[in-house]
Amino acid sequence: MDPQAKPASRRERKKERTRQEVYAAAMKLFADRSYHQVTVEEICEEADVARTTFFAHLPSKSALLREYSRGIATRFRESHWDSEAAATEQLRALATLVMETWFAHAEVMGAMLVESSLPPGTRLERSEEANPIRELVEGIIRRGQTRGEFRPGIAADVAAHAFLSTGSIMLAAAAERRAELSPEELRDEFLDWLLHGMAHID
């Protein structure tokens, strides 16, 4: 905590509490059903807030996924971050956390990865709504390029989108095999595909 930072006002604390209550209510509903089946109205009812209150704190339902993404990014930085580790090891640690989270919260995690991926034809643009996981991956890739671990000619933002899009596709494909796989096995499949592709190299 920054010692120079001003303590949050009562209004700011109340606003953050309400935001967290809405988020907790949404996660409870998403865990019981599909993210796409749950409506904003149902989230408001669960959190006991008005619809206007919801939109005063969150611009859209998908903003809840960015909150979820931010939580994963924070957990990674607090528990797995090692600035001296190789970029591939950092990606491995992040992939492990993502896969473990998917096994625990498949519906929310799947929706978050889809939200992090770009639909066909969408331009890569910066926005204030940038996804925290995508920014984290992009930062790891840039550091890997600086250290000579990754090829410098590949745009880091494109590589980050590829990382998340590939993860989204693999998790969707693995849904039927979920009972047969461990998070580590799925992580290894994902990283092997991402880093080595389809080529068979002797």
For residue 82, what pLDDT band results from cuts at 50, 70 and 90? confident
Predicted local confidence at residue 84, as pLDDT: 84
Say how many CA atoms lie within 13 Å of 60 toward its Cβ. 7
Which residues form the domain of 140? 63-196
- Give pLDDT tens digits for 183-194: 888 888 888 888
Residue 1 lies in a domain: no
- Same domain, yes or no: 136 and 91: yes
Predicted local confidence at residue 3, as pLDDT: 44
For residue 129, what pLDDT band results from cuts at 50, 70 and 90? low
Share of residues in the chain with pLDDT > 90 (%): 29
Predicted local confidence at residue 142, as pLDDT: 94
- 26: domain CATH number? 1.10.10.60
- Same domain, yes or no: 99 and 127: yes
Give the helix, strand, coil percentages of the chain, each rounded to 5.
Answer: 70, 0, 30
For residue 105, what pLDDT band results from cuts at 50, 70 and 90? confident
Q: Is the pLDDT of residue 164 over 60?
A: yes
- Same domain, yes or no: 18 and 117: no
Q: Which whole number is the average pLDDT over 18-36?
A: 89
Q: In whole angstroms, give the CA distance from residue 23 to residue 187.
A: 28
- Same domain, yes or no: 53 and 69: no
CA-derived radius of gyration, the chain: 19
Mean per-residue pLDDT over the chain, rounded: 82
Q: Is the CA virtual torsion 21, 27, 33, 39 positive or negative?
A: positive
- 122: domain CATH number? 1.10.357.10
